[in-house]
A and B are shown apart, each in its own frame.
Chain A
Amino acid sequence: MEEVTCYIPRTLDEALEILSKDDCTILAGGSDLMVSHKRTIGVDPRFSKSVMIIRNLPEIRKIYTEGGECHIGAASTSSEIAENPLVPWHLRQAASRMGAVALRNSATIAGNIANASPKGDTPGPLYLLDARVKIRSAKESREEPVSDFIVKFREIDLKPGEMITEVVVPLSEDDFDYVFWHKVGTRKANAISKVTVSMALKFEDGGSVVRDFRVSATATGSKTNRSRDVENIIIGKEISEDLIEEVAEAFDGIISPRAMPEFRRETCRRCIRRFLSEAERRRAAGDRRKMIDTYDGYHMPGAPEVR
């Protein structure tokens, strides 16, 4: 069996140069590719085209803020993201609950996005926060919202010669009064999500009218779900029981979970109800604690105990 060429570039320029000549499979952490290409003990994994290993490229492992945005190098690992206080809260939550310690030290953010699995954990927060991917080739550089870049299940908008170099997340944290992130897995470690829900809300200054509300969910269809139309139902209005129900139902209308649909639908509805009603309760009570959890002691049907 002919072995494919494997490149190990030392700089980003070198990597882009290689990509311009040879349409490679880009390997970052390897946590998806090494599983999907594995054969058996002692036998090398088999790839169908050249492979370029970018795991250790220093230029794409940096995390910094600039111009009110957080820039996350494509090969930053989940651990690096979870530990970095510059990274927005929702994304740190998602990164800190991926896999277990060792997985988080390998899994990269670009790998999670490019894998384009609806069960991937970082796209939830990335959709919520209007994040973009920065894409480069030897000649060009472009940016695209993550929600457009992920076209559908296992399909991304990446042309031969291109790679993701950065993920850019607008820092809207201070623009939110209340935030929510919840993952339902089968167990605490190395659990692929059954569903994750990310939400954020901002009231008009000193008022009871909603200025911004956002909700996204993963593992509830062929890609991560978010819809401005659904969010607009409550934006510009005061939170009421009826509106909460309307939002929960409208969100239910945009998701299309295949396996365990009722469980996933019910989880989303309950998370939305919980978040919006608790945000309103806290606002009215002058309670400014930002983080809203799932119900204390409340048990999602069929889900593991929430700590």
Chain B
Amino acid sequence: MEKTISFKLNGRDVSITRNPLSRLLDVLRDDFGMHGVKEGCSEGECGACSILLNGRMVTPCLIPLGAADGQEIMTVEGISATPEGDCVVQAFADGGAVQCGFCIPGMVVAAYSLLKKNPDPTDEDIRLGISGNLCRCTGYDLIVESIKLAARRGRDLWKK
């Protein structure tokens, strides 16, 4: 059964006619070309697919398209286009947070979502904030450092 589902994607009104039980992850990648939404585990464990739904970080591998009806979605593409998101992306690049890069879009979403709520996080806050995002390469230390860098550099951005 197909249905027309409408939502806001990175600030734009969009709609799509598809099975409302399709995974939001597939819809974002295949129908909207949001390839920053990565698929790692397919079951909510790795955080590679992280997006914001109504400003809250969620994993669209666990969410059916129909649940997005009338809601607001931001993917890493939309986030990087904001001054705050750009600040995180730059800090990740400058801080050496990236190795293979597969986990990074999800990490950027997690970092953005953390700093929006808590502009001055401790190391522990950062590690908890990204604890649902797995990285096979870096050992996390440089990711944590880069998030601290983003907090420092973007001080005025996050606090506004």
C-alpha gap A40/B39 in the complex (Å): 11
Question: Does A79 count as interface, using CB distance less than 8 angstroms?
Answer: yes
Minimal Cβ-Cβ distance residue in A for B61: A34
Question: Does B14 count as interface, using CB distance less than 8 angstroms?
Answer: no
Question: Does B138 count as interface, using CB distance less than 8 angstroms?
Answer: no
Inter-chain contact B131/A100, CB cutoff 8 Å: yes
A contact residues around B123 at 8 Å (CB):
none
- Residues of B55-114 contacting chain A, CB below 8 A: 56-59, 61-64, 66-67, 69-71, 110, 113
Inter-chain contact B56/A105, CB cutoff 8 Å: yes
Inter-chain contact A30/B62, CB cutoff 8 Å: yes
A contact residues around B23 at 8 Å (CB):
34, 38, 44-45
Inter-chain contact A44/B21, CB cutoff 8 Å: yes
A contact residues around B132 at 8 Å (CB):
99-103, 189-190
Question: Does A106 count as interface, using CB distance less than 8 angstroms?
Answer: yes
Chain A residues within 8 Å of chain B by Cβ, number: 33
Q: Knowing A31-B44, A100-B132, A101-B113 touch, does A106 contact B39 (C-beta < 8 A)?
A: no
Inter-chain contact A4/B39, CB cutoff 8 Å: no
Q: How close is B48's CB to chain A, nearest CB, in angstroms?
A: 11
Inter-chain contact A100/B47, CB cutoff 8 Å: yes
Q: How close is B55's CB to chain A, nearest CB, in angstroms?
A: 10
Q: How close is B39's CB to chain A, nearest CB, in angstroms?
A: 6
Inter-chain contact A102/B44, CB cutoff 8 Å: yes
Chain B residues within 8 Å of chain A by Cβ, number: 37
Inter-chain contact B131/A51, CB cutoff 8 Å: no
B contact residues around A5 at 8 Å (CB):
1
Inter-chain contact B43/A38, CB cutoff 8 Å: yes
C-alpha gap A40/B22 in the complex (Å): 11
Please, what's the 1-or-0 string for B125-150, where 1 marks a CB less than 8 Å from any CB in chain A? 00011011100000000000000000
- Residues of B21-36 contacting chain A, CB below 8 A: 21-23, 26, 30
Question: Does B42 count as interface, using CB distance less than 8 angstroms?
Answer: yes
Inter-chain contact A30/B63, CB cutoff 8 Å: yes
C-alpha gap A4/B20 in the complex (Å): 10
Minimal Cβ-Cβ distance residue in B for A54: B67
Inter-chain contact A8/B42, CB cutoff 8 Å: no
Minimal Cβ-Cβ distance residue in A for B20: A6
Question: Does A29 count as interface, using CB distance less than 8 angstroms?
Answer: yes
Q: Knowing A29-B62, A53-B64 touch, does A8 contact B69 (C-beta < 8 A)?
A: yes
Q: Knowing A4-B1, A42-B30, A56-B67 touch, does A35 contact B44 (C-beta < 8 A)?
A: yes
Q: How close is B52's CB to chain A, nearest CB, in angstroms?
A: 9
- Residues of B1-16 contacting chain A, CB below 8 A: 1, 3
Inter-chain contact A56/B128, CB cutoff 8 Å: no
Partner of B67, one of A38, A41, A53: A53
C-alpha gap A231/B10 in the complex (Å): 54
Inter-chain contact A6/B128, CB cutoff 8 Å: no
B contact residues around A189 at 8 Å (CB):
128, 131-132
- Residues of A14-57 contacting chain B, CB below 8 A: 27, 29-31, 34-35, 38, 40-42, 44-45, 47, 51, 53, 55-56
Per CB-CB distance, the 4 closest pairs between chain A and chain B, nearest first, are A100-B132, A189-B131, A105-B56, A6-B20
| Contact surface of A with B, Cβ cutoff 8 Å | 3-6, 8, 27, 29-31, 34-35, 38, 40-42, 44-45, 47, 51, 53, 55-56, 79, 99-103, 105-106, 188-190
| Contact surface of B with A, Cβ cutoff 8 Å | 1, 3, 19-23, 26, 30, 39, 42-45, 47, 50, 53, 56-59, 61-64, 66-67, 69-71, 110, 113, 128-129, 131-133
